Structure 1
Amino acid sequence: MKDKTIPLQLVVLAPGHFHAALVQQEMYPGVDSIVQVYAPEGPEVQEYLRLVTGFNNRQHSPTRWVEQVYTGPGYLEKMVAGAPGRVVVIAGNNQLKSTYIRRSIAAGMHVLGDKPMAINAADFDSLKLAFEDARKNKVLLYDIMTERYNIMNILQQELLLRPEVFGVLEKGSLAAPAVVKKSVHHFRKTVAGKGLIRPAWYMDVAQQGEGIVDVTTHLVDLIQWTCFPGQVIDYHKDIKMVTARRWPTGMTLQQYEAITGEQHFPDYLRKDLDKDSVLQVYANGSFDYSIRGIHAQVAVSWAYEALEGGGDTHFSRIRGTKAALEIRQDAAQQYRPALYIVPVDDTPAYEKQLQEQVTLLADKYPGIQLKKVQEGWEVMIPDVYKPGHEALFSRVMKKYLAYIQAGHMPEWEVAGMLAKYYTTTQALALAKKSAP
């Protein structure tokens, strides 16, 4: 393990996704301000550098990153030839990610990988070997699970762990799952105040991965983290896939150009054009599965662009014997995420227990309170706990750096990553097998 008195060196490898820059929104104690960047020449690395420059030049709490950039042939070989003990951030082309991870770990580097770290069964097999190699080389492999730091998800877990409020987790069924997680996303969006330019390959599921193995990584992770916190999930016996399906989002050339800047579909996408030359991107998927006998349903869909005033949305329902805990974010709430407690029996006795538990919870999160609504109770959460999605990346980095400093990760973290990617890649396999 690297000497703790020497600052950790950050390395960024082929940053094809804007998440590579978001982990650099702030400086970290014990981390060198000099960042080594290895990438092929092109617009992707330039977009990454533009974002980091923006963090350095912002008026409030500017960062001080100094980027040492190598672009050109042999960028991967040049990176792995460097000193071991560095921390490499990998966020980009998912087709290459398993190779990048394995090579980095073999070179004695810690790896912080953007999701998904596996987009098919072969990648999952590679990921299993990567964790074995990481243990042998005494380095840590971790993925960027920002949604664990979203206050809505934090409070949903807190309430689930209070039997006076939630009861115990229902088992559910295929017709009525105990846990439902759904999210809607958009290809065209704004990041750090500017229109996001996506790389051309982002619409190629062979390189980016299908939707059923991409954003679903977050949703499956939240199911494990919320319902079984700190517990080791054994994917061999705890996960059972039930049903799965996938479907495409259509994208015209004009829409494709607006988000990539490219005026023509590349050759590798021509196979995905329909008879009207509309690109069919398999960005959508849903699946039902059981985890330790609890029936769960996961779904993700991608539209081209949000309706005015809208954005990415998240829905979550977890059913207990006393209440369901729901996170809703849709047009009915003006796309404002909100957390609800929907009691099975909203009696005066239940209300008394609920008020007592939320008062106790407010000791940990001052300012939260309850508001009576038609279907139950809304948890009112002060804005101070809602920094926005982009701000959550630094929280993941801080947790990861703490693990590196400690020299190990909890067993449940590694087991959870394996269980999560087993679930998503098995869902893809089943969806393809079930397709007409």
Structure 2
Amino acid sequence: MVQSMPDLNKVAQSIPLKREVLVLGGGVSGITIADILARSGIHVTLVEKRKNLGGLSKQFCLFSNRPGDSDNRISGKMARLSESPHITLITGAELVGMEGHFGSFQAKIRKESGETILLFPSAVVVATGYITRRDAKGIPDSGCLAFLSDMERLIAETGESGLLWNGKPLNTVTFVLDQANDDIKLDTSTVFKQSLVLRQKYNCQVYVLCKDLKVSFTSGERLYRKAREAGVLFFKYEETPEYSLVGDRICVALPDNTNLKKEEQEKITLLSDLLVLPEVCLPDPEAEQLCRILRLRMGKGGRFMDDNPQFLRIRSNRRGVFVAGACRFPQLPAETLKEAEAAAQEITALLAPGVYECGPLVAEVNADKCALCYTCPRLCPHSAIGIERYAGKNVYYVLGNGDRWNAARVEPAACYGCGICVAECPARAISLRGEDALSLDAYAK
């Protein structure tokens, strides 16, 4: 039975929103988000720490599961960015500080020259991507070793004539998967695409070595079958293959796993003109610092963490801060584009009304009871509670309007009304708007 119900009309609060968004990262995800938002009339500031836009997407010249030159599509979006009056590009810069909450962020951007720029966006998008490292430990190299990005560039730059690597024609190519990135589908998708091009366009013999093929992506099973029908040979291995040089070619030896008895397994020897490995995918080394600045949770392996992978993966633990693209995990370009479109649509829907109506279940702090023990700021999963020092005291200081008082304060626009702070406050100084802590205790009893 409901004993009482707060008047939702009295407790509701509206917060004005500016149509301004800060996008961190100039890769395919950041470019797509900025392009969509700008076409909706929202002003976007795109910040990229490198001198040029595009990120690692420039390594992928062809889409893996549909025809079309991905490089030209990205270039078209970049051209629109430079021409749009709603987009401000800042390259060679990074985020060094951020305060405030959804609707009233204050971001500090520092350029390489040392110049500092202050921005006041209503929402922030993190699309910083990832980095790659070339690792060929234990593999001899005498000019017959390459990586997937090298093969991608070679295919893009070679016309109808035969493929040449270091001046030698390529007749046999071996790909080795799962030595570095054993849980990333991007490598499998890229190998399918490149092996099909090598077989169908250049008539190369192609071998693919793997532990387990990841085909759980759009057209993955179809591409695998198509590659086998084209003559690509797949070999499964459990232990690391053995590598050796035979003249100017490379030899790969592995046990024949078709025989289940290991003692009777014979060695399969593959002689190739070129051995191709995937680059190791690593999180951005600045991701941890960026998480601290934005007060976001960090996921497994030093990557950004989404708030709920089963629903909107683009949301973070803070309202108004979105995470999109490969900064969460390396993924296919098609998946990155879908996430970018979802983030742009979510932001557009949030900013379209011009105001944000806070929900009725918002936590409030009774300043007379607050002991400034820092329990609530430490426990709040959404960084909605703040305490700062002012004039030698622990107080909350509201940016812009000079409001100060000796207590913690909940930002209504950032609060999700989860009630964790209400339950954990030792002084019983926090309540959900319209209900005090004592009445909640009575309900619990």
Tell me whether the two structures share a fold, i.e. TM-score over 0.5: no
Q: TM-score, normalised by structure 2?
A: 0.22
Choose 1 or 2 for highest CA Rg.
2
Q: TM-score, normalised by structure 1?
A: 0.23
